[in-house]
Amino acid sequence: MSKLIIVSNKLPFEIAETDGKPFLTEKTGGISGSLNAFSKYSRSVWVGWTGNENIVIEGKEKSDIYRKYRDEDCHPVELTSEEISNHHHGFCNQTIWPLFHYFPQYSDFNLNYWEGYRQVNEKFADAVAEIAAEGDKIWIHDYHLMLLPKMIRERNPDLSIGFFMHIPFPSFEIMRIFPWRQELIEGMLGADLVGFHTFDYERHFMSCVRRLLGYDNILNTVKMDERVVKIDNFPMGIDFDRIQKEAAAIQDPGNGNRSDGFGRLFGPEPGENGQIKIILSIDRLDYAKGIPQRLEAFEQFLKENPRYLEKVSLALFVIPSREVVAEYQDQRRLVDEQAGRINGEFGTLNWMPVLYYYRPVTREEMTELYTISDIALVTPLRDGMNILAKEYVAARTGETGVLILSEMAGASKEMSEALLVNPYNSFEITSAITEALDMPEEEQKKRIKALQKRLKVYNEDKWAGDILNSLENVKKLQQTSLTRKVSHKISENFCKKYAGAKKRAIFLDYDGTLTGFHNDPQKAMPDEELYSILNSLVSDNKNHVVIISGRDKETLGKWFIDFDNITFIAEHGVWIREKGEDWSMIEKIDKEWMEIIRPTISFYVDRTPRSLLEEKNYSLVWHYRHADPDLGEIRSWELKEELRDLVSNLNLEIMDGDKVIEVKNSGINKGRAAGQQLAGGEYDFIIALGDDWTDEYTFGAMPGDAITVKVGTKSTKARYYTDSVESVRELLNDLAGSGNNNEK
C-alpha cells in the first residue's frame, strides 16, 4: 500500500532529559505538534530533524532513542553542529524569516548560510529517497525545506509531491532583493501542489514565478515543460473539538469563568468592584509579533481612558525564542523597559496594568489563559496564519469574549467577525480595546458563535484532507496530460507510420518549433543541426516539406536560399514560394491600412519599455515578450481594445499570440494556406508541428488522421504535445532515420 511521507524541519517527538536519562516526548506546539494527531490515523511516516542540540546521546542510549523513533514511524535526519548553525540558526532564522516577514534590514545574505541550507536540503532528499516507494505521497512543510521538492523530483520524477508554506510569502518587490531567489522558486516548483495560508501569499508566489522564471499561470496552475503545478491557498485549521473539551474541563464552575490558577493570580474574586478585565497577549519573542507596538497602544489606552485604571490588566506572556540573535535581545530589552515604565506610571499597590511573564507556556496553561481572558489582543506586524487567534475563539465555551486581530495575520482573511486593526496604528488598537471592553455580551456571543461555527467545520483534519485531495487531483490531471505527450513509445509509432507511407506532408512552424526564441528576432537564424535535419527530410522524394511561418519572405528567403525543394509560406499565409519557384502572393491584398494602424502600435511601444514593433510586408506585429509581465498584459488588453475600434471597417484581423499581437488582413492565416497545400495531393502521412496560437489554424485545417503536435503545454487543438525545440528536432531526426532505414 502507498503511504504518506510527512517531511518537516523537526519531528513531532523531541529528546528530553531527566536525571541525566534521555527519553522521547511528544511535541505540543509548532507544525509537527499540530500535524501529529492527523498522522496517527493516516498511514504515514515522518522525516525530520530531532531538534537535538543540547543533549548529547551516544552508544546504547542513542540506539534506544532511535528505536523509539522508529516505533513512532519517525525517521530522524542527523545534522552536524555546523549544519545546524548554518541552516537552522543561520539561513532559516537570520535570512529567510526576516525577509519573508518584511524585515529585509535584518536579513543576513551569508553565502555560508546558503551553502549550509542547500546541504541540509540534500540530506533530507537522501532520507526521503531511502523510504519512498512508487505511489507514495510526499508532503513537505515550510521554509526550512524550500529546495527539497525539486531535489526529490530529480531523484524520483514520478512521486507525488506537495509543499506547504506556513509563513508569509513576500511580494516580488521583497523577493527580488534575495540573491538566490530563482533557486528557491525552482525548488518549490518541484512539487505538484504548492500551498499557502492565504490568497495574498499565493498571488505573490505566482507573480515571482512569472517574473523570475517566465512561466505564466492560468487559473492558479503553472504549466511547466512536462508538468502542471497547482498553486492554491488552504487556511490552516485547528483541533476545535479537543480545545473545547480541554477548555470545559479546565474551568471551575464555582469560580465563574476563572480557574484556580491564573484566575486568582490575575485579580480579586467577584465583589463590589467586580473582577479585573484581562486582556491576553501570548507571543514568541520576535520582532514580527509587534509586542512593543502592542504595549505602546495599551499605554495610550490607559492615558486616554482613566475610567479603566485598576479595572483592566494586560496579561503579557513572552515566550523565549532565538535568544542568541542580536535583534531578539534588543526586542527583549525594549519590552522589559516598556512594561516597567507602564507599571511604574500607572500601577498601584493593588493593581498592575501589565502582568508580564517571560517564560514558556504549556498547552494546558494556554487553554486556561484563553478561558479566563476577556479579550485576546493578537496584533502581529506580519504572520503567516496565527493559530493562537483561532484557539482563543475555540476555547470560549461560554461564547463570550472579544478577539482583536491584526489585519496582517493570515487568520484575518477568514475571521472578519474579530475587531481587525492595523498593528502599526496605535490609535486603531486603542479604539479596538475600548470597543471590546464596552461590547455588550449579546454582541460578543454573536461574533464568537459565527467564528466558532466556521472553525469547527474547517478544522485541522479538513485542512489536511483538502490539501491531500488536491494533490491527488493534480496528479490525475498530470496523468491525463502525459497520455498525449510524445513519449518514446508514441514516437516509435509515428516512425512506423512514416516508414510505411508512400506520400507525406510535413508542416513545420519556425520560431519556437524548429528554433528557440531570441531577444532579437533576427538572431534566431538556423544552425547547422537544423539544416542537416531539413536536408535529411527533403532528400526523401516521398516528402512534401512546408515551412509555414509568421516570418517575412525576405528573412526566410535569405536563411533558406539553398532549399529550393521546400515550400515556404511567409507572414502567416500571405506569401508562398513553391519548390523551385519565386515568391508570389497567395491572394492580392492591400496594405494602405498600415498607415492608420502603425501610430497606435507605436504609441504602445513608447508606453511599454522593452516592447517593439515589427513591420512585415502585410502585417504589423507588437512584441512584448521582454516587457514587465504585468505591464505587458495590461497594455496588451488596452491595445486590443483600441485596435478593435480601428479595424472594424478595414477587413483586418487581430491575432493574439504568445506575447505578440499581430494585425493583418482578415482571412489570411496558416490554416488556409496549409489547406491549399493539402488539396494538391493525396497524402497517407501528414504531420504538423507548431508552438504558437497562430499554429492552431494549421492544426484545425488538418484531416482527422493527421498527426498534430504542439510545442509546449498550453491549451491546443493538437492531439499531442512535446516539450521543447530539442524534442522536435529529435522527433524529426527519428522520422527521417526511419524512412531511410525502410528504404534499405
Average pLDDT over the chain, rounded to whole? 88
Q: Are residues 381 and 508 in the same domain?
A: no
pLDDT of residue 493: 94
Q: Are residues 207 and 89 in the same domain?
A: yes
Measured between alpha carbons, how far is 468 from 139 in angstroms, rounded to an integer? 8
Per-residue confidence at 588, pLDDT binned at 50, 70, 90?
A: confident
Asked if residue 666 lies in contact with residue 691, where contact means CB atoms within 8 angstroms, the answer is: no
Residue positions counted in the chain: 744
Examine the fold and report which residue of 206, 233, 260 is the final residue of a domain before the chain moves on.
233
Decide if pLDDT at 268 tops 70.
Answer: no
Over range 539-556, report the average pLDDT: 91
**CA 390 to each of CA 168, 277, 453, 550, 722: distance values in angstroms, whole numbers, following the listed order:** 17, 21, 12, 58, 47
pTM of the model: 0.79
pLDDT of residue 273: 46
Which tens digit of pLDDT belongs to each residue from 390-426?
999 999 998 899 999 999 999 999 999 999 999 999 9
Q: Are residues 174 and 195 in the same domain?
A: yes
Q: Tell me whether residue 19 is in a domain.
A: yes
Residue whose cell numbers read 507602564: 342
Q: Are residues 106 and 171 in the same domain?
A: yes
Over range 297-319, report the average pLDDT: 95
Identify the three-state secondary structure at position 196: strand
Range of the domain at 18: 4-233
Per-residue confidence at 193, pLDDT binned at 50, 70, 90?
A: very high
Identify the three-state secondary structure at position 42: coil
Q: Tell me whether residue 477 is in a domain.
A: no
Measured between alpha carbons, how far is 364 from 367 in angstroms, rounded to an integer? 5
Higher pLDDT, 436 or 158: 436
Examine the fold and report which residue of 451, 477, 511 is the final residue of a domain before the chain moves on.
451
Measured between alpha carbons, how far is 471 from 454 in angstroms, rounded to an integer? 24
DSSP string, 679-722: TTS--SEEEEEE-STTHHHHHHHS-TTSEEEEESSS--S-SEEE
Q: Are residues 693 and 640 in the same domain?
A: no
pLDDT of residue 41: 54
Q: Are residues 656 and 682 in the same domain?
A: no
Which tens digit of pLDDT belongs to each residue from 119-142?
999 999 999 999 999 889 999 999
CATH of the domain at 675: 3.40.50.1000
The amino acid present at 729, given as its one-letter code, is: R
Decide if pLDDT at 491 tops 90.
Answer: yes
Per-residue confidence at 152, pLDDT binned at 50, 70, 90?
A: very high
Q: Tell me whether residue 480 is in a domain.
A: no
CATH of the domain at 659: 3.30.70.1020
Q: Tell me whether residue 309 is in a domain.
A: yes
Q: Which of 637, 664, 695 is nearest to 514 (CA)?
A: 695
Three-class SS of 87-130: HHHHHHHHHHHHHHCCCHHHCCCCHHHHHHHHHHHHHHHHHHHH
Q: Are residues 276 and 417 in the same domain?
A: yes
Q: Are residues 537 and 682 in the same domain?
A: yes
Which tens digit of pLDDT belongs to each residue from 500-512?
999 999 999 999 8
Which tens digit of pLDDT belongs to each residue from 655-710?
887 788 988 887 778 888 899 889 867 899 999 999 887 888 899 999 989 999 99
Higher pLDDT, 535 or 216: 535
Q: Are residues 524 and 496 in the same domain?
A: yes
Decide if pLDDT at 734 tops 60.
Answer: yes
Window from 38-42, 313-317, 626-630 with minimum mean pLDDT: 38-42
The residues facing 710 across adjacent strands are 690, 721
Per-residue confidence at 263, pLDDT binned at 50, 70, 90?
A: low
Phi and psi at residue 619, to the nearest 5°: -155, 160
Q: Are residues 133 and 206 in the same domain?
A: yes
Examine the fold and report which residue of 196, 211, 233 is the final residue of a domain before the chain moves on.
233
pLDDT of residue 266: 65
726 Cβ partners below 8 Å, 6+ apart?
none
Per-residue confidence at 618, pLDDT binned at 50, 70, 90?
A: confident
Measured between alpha carbons, how far is 716 from 714 in angstroms, rounded to an integer? 6
Q: Are residues 280 and 387 in the same domain?
A: yes
Q: Are residues 619 and 494 in the same domain?
A: no
Q: Tell me whether residue 483 is in a domain.
A: no
pLDDT of residue 269: 44
Residue 541 exposed, middle or buried by CB count within 10 Å (0-12, 13-18, 19+): exposed
DSSP string, 277-324: EEEEEEEES-GGG-HHHHHHHHHHHHHH-GGGTTTEEEEEEEE---TT
Q: Tell me whether residue 482 is in a domain.
A: no
Q: Tell me whether residue 475 is in a domain.
A: no
CA 255 to chain centre: 49
Window from 141-145, 177-181, 480-484, 627-631 with minimum mean pLDDT: 480-484
Q: How many domains does the chain have?
A: 4
Q: Tell me whether residue 463 is in a domain.
A: no
CATH of the domain at 284: 3.40.50.2000
Interior/surface letters 678-706, b for 16+ CB within 10 angstroms, e for the rest: beeeebebbbbbbbbbbbbbbbebbeeeb
Decide if pLDDT at 280 tops 90.
Answer: yes
Three-class SS of 112-175: HHHHHHHHHHHHHHHHHHHHCCCCCEEEEECHHHCCHHHHHHHHCCCCEEEEECCCCCCCHHHH
Decide if pLDDT at 220 tops 80.
Answer: yes
Window from 366-380, 517-531, 691-705, 723-737 with minimum mean pLDDT: 517-531
Q: Mark residue 370 as left, alpha or beta (left: phi above 0; alpha: psi -120 to 50; beta: remaining).
A: alpha
Higher pLDDT, 343 or 551: 343
Measured between alpha carbons, how far is 600 from 608 in angstroms, rounded to an integer? 13
Q: Which of 368, 134, 391 is nearest to 255 (CA)?
A: 368
Window from 480-489, 554-563, 603-612, 629-638 with minimum mean pLDDT: 480-489
The catalytic residue positions are: 509
pLDDT of residue 267: 54
Asked if residue 660 lies in contact with residue 622, where contact means CB atoms within 8 angstroms, the answer is: yes
